[in-house]
Amino acid sequence: MNDTKPLNILIVDDSATMRALLHRVIGLADLPIGRIYQAPNGLEALKILETCSVQAIFTDLNMPVMNGMELLREIAKRDSWKDLLRIIISTDGSKLRRDEARELNVDLYVEKPFRPEVVRDVLCQIASADAH
């Protein structure tokens, strides 16, 4: 795992508390993490993606300005972002929303509330897939 390239991560959530929580949980994972960027909505997230190298995005769905699904639709349009790992973290666990996410090539769907080890396991899956 030590020779794995550090992972740059983008956290998108309108709640500063949730962003802080995710930042803390990601930091606890025994993985080479590079930079952790944060955005309060989809539009700000797109600005970061335009200018920074990001390998994985954790996004909420219900957000003002641009919601998570709108963000994921924008990401799906761009060929240069096709390898970006997409993880939804949302209170909305409905089947319809999950189906919608699947159509947008979302890699993982995590429902809030989540236990910290769930996010750690998600990161381990990403790192493990990256190493192969």
Partner 1 sequence: MSSAKSPALTPTDLHDTLQAALIEVGENAYFVFVEACDAGAFATLAEQERDKAHGAVVTWLMASVRFSGAFSGSVEIVLPERLGRWLVSSLLGMTPDEELPEAQVFDGVGEFANMVCGAWLSRVGDQALFELKVPAVTRMAAEWNPVADGRGREEVMCRMVSLNDSPMRIRVRAQ
Binding of partner 1 by 21 (CB under 8 A): yes
**Interface pick for partner 1 out of 4, 30, 47, 91 (rule CB under 8 A):** 91
Sign, CA torsion 16/43/25/3? negative
CB of 124 to partner 1, least distance (A): 20
Helix (H, G, I), strand (E, B) or coil at 34: strand
Distance CA 76, CA 79 (A): 7
SS3 category, 10: strand
SS3 35: strand
Which one of 5, 24, 35, 78 is in contact with partner 1 (CB under 8 A)? 24
Residue 82 within binding range of partner 1, rule CB under 8 A: no
**Residues at the contact surface with partner 1, assessed by CB under 8 A:** 14-18, 20-21, 24, 62, 64, 90-97, 111-115
